[in-house]
Amino acid sequence: MKRPIRIGINALFIIPGKAGGLETVLRNLLTSFLSVDTSNEYVVFSSRECAGIAPAGPNIQEVPCPVSAAFRPGKHLWEQLVFPSWLKRQRIDVLLSPGNVTPLCAPCPSVTVINDAIPFIRPENFSAIERLVLKPLFRLSARRSAAVLTLSESARRDLVRHLGIAEQKIGVMYLAAEDRFAPSAQNAEGVFRKHGISRPYLICVASSRPYKNVVGLVRAFMLIRDRYHVPHQLVVVGLAGRAHGALLGIAAPLLEAGSLVLTGFVDDAELPVLYSQAELSVYPSMYEGFGLPVLESMACGTPVVSSNAASLPEVVGDAGVLFDPRDIEAMARAISSVISDEGLRTALRQKGFEQARRFSWDRSAAIVRDVLAGAAGTASSS
């Protein structure tokens, strides 16, 4: 009988609440591994900031590491120069790195989750130093890894094009909405008072990074208000990014009038309520490896209007209205068409529930488990 595989999980990149989709992927995979794999052993290597990230389970342990995720240069150096000796000491058979990069001299096979090719496709979202570090690290990590995982067929094509690796080396693991995303009115009035929100409103969950195109959405919203005199607020939920200054500049009149609300980061309990009570969820991004807020909206029963860029048509399916994110007029028309048609909103709400149910964290975790087992040279067990 073969012994269990010791699977290392590289969580050194996590700063709770600031790692965005990367943190969502890691936390949900760890939880789902408890359901889909009771035989193998999981060893989570955590940074100072994310100590305690590993869920309690008989086959999961956490190894705190003396490195800070907040100081990225130090994290990268420790990961490349010191981390390999920790892997050897813990007798790791295969390493999963869900944060786009892996230690290049690891003493065991690596499987790296590279969410997307954004440093190559939208380089303006990164500083010159970030581009200098991330581009070669992405390429070298992909080539060093026994296998690469990404989040959509669109992202897989992008990685083949920009990283120079074979398509068959890349597997796809779709994301899913967490169970907490369901129709909710819990303490809705309290949440509204806290953030200055009034019904009816549209919601956009996205940081103000340039490629998220929140500035474009605000322009489209201004067109809608001018032409159709809609009473809606626009509520944008997300951390400030590199385009935040531009956003504040164009949005000043809306902010002063109370027509636009920028909540920043919100508590986990608040987000399902904000989705559920919105009349419409808009996702205007220019590029996404997946686009999880689309599924979260659908799971909460909120009709979706989305960009047609990159992976988003894969995620939306026929359960939303798509638009070209570069065309402000088209975005405004798409939003207006759903606001003005109650029958369409009802149909999209039902299709959204069905679409969200097609995605499962346990199914994705099983895919990752099998890829890890293959990389370790051992048949998977569950």
Determine the average pLDDT of the residues in 286-298.
96
Q: What are the pLDDT digits (tens) for 318-375?
A: 999 999 999 999 999 999 999 999 999 999 999 999 999 999 999 999 999 999 999 9
Query: Cβ distance 63 to 44 under 8 Å?
Result: yes
Q: What is the pLDDT of residue 382?
A: 36
- Which pair of tokens denotes residue 125? 């979202």
Query: Cβ distance 109 to 155 under 8 Å?
Result: no
Please say whether the dihedral angle defined by the alpha carbons of residues 77, 81, 87 and 89, taken in this order, is positive or negative: negative
Residue 181: is its pLDDT beyond 80?
yes
Q: Is omega for the bond preceding 200 within 30 degrees of 0, making it cis?
A: yes
Determine the average pLDDT of the residues in 254-283.
96
Residue 206: is its pLDDT beyond 50?
yes
Q: How far apart are CA 16 and CA 18, in angstroms?
A: 6
Position 24 confidence tier, pLDDT thresholds 50, 70, 90: confident
Q: What is the pLDDT of residue 1?
A: 47
Sheet strand arrangement including 6-11: 60-64, 41-46, 6-11, 94-97, 110-113, 147-150, 170-172
Q: What is the pLDDT of residue 134?
A: 86
Is pTM, for the whole model, over 0.85?
yes
Residue 380: is its pLDDT beyond 60?
no
Residue 228: is its pLDDT beyond 90?
no
Position 19 confidence tier, pLDDT thresholds 50, 70, 90: low
Question: What percent of the chain shows pLDDT beyond 90?
Answer: 87
- CA 244: distance to chain centroid? 19
Q: What is the pLDDT of residue 124?
A: 82
DSSP one-letter string for 97-133:
E-SS---TT-SS-EEEE----HHHH-GGGS-HHHHHH
Q: How far apart are CA 382 and CA 380, in angstroms?
A: 7
Q: What is the pLDDT of residue 127?
A: 83
Q: What is the pLDDT of residue 11?
A: 96
Determine the average pLDDT of the residues in 15-31.
82
Closest C-alpha among 144, 145, 37 to residue 364 = 37
In degrees to the nearest 10, what's the CA dihedral of 232, 333, 116, 49? -10
Position 262 confidence tier, pLDDT thresholds 50, 70, 90: very high
Q: What are the pLDDT digits (tens) for 96-135?
A: 999 999 999 999 999 999 999 999 998 888 888 888 888 9
Determine the average pLDDT of the residues in 87-97.
98
**DSSP symbol at 56:** P
Q: What is the pLDDT of residue 379?
A: 38
Residue 381: is its pLDDT beyond 50?
no
Q: What are the pLDDT digits (tens) for 150-171?
A: 999 999 999 999 998 999 999 9
Kind and range of the H or E run holding 248: helix 244-257
Question: What percent of the chain shows pLDDT beyond 70?
Answer: 98
Position 20 confidence tier, pLDDT thresholds 50, 70, 90: low
Q: What is the pLDDT of residue 3?
A: 81
Q: What is the pLDDT of residue 18?
A: 63
Determine the average pLDDT of the residues in 301-310.
98
- Cβ-in-10-Å burial (0-12, 13-18, 19+) of 81 comes to exposed
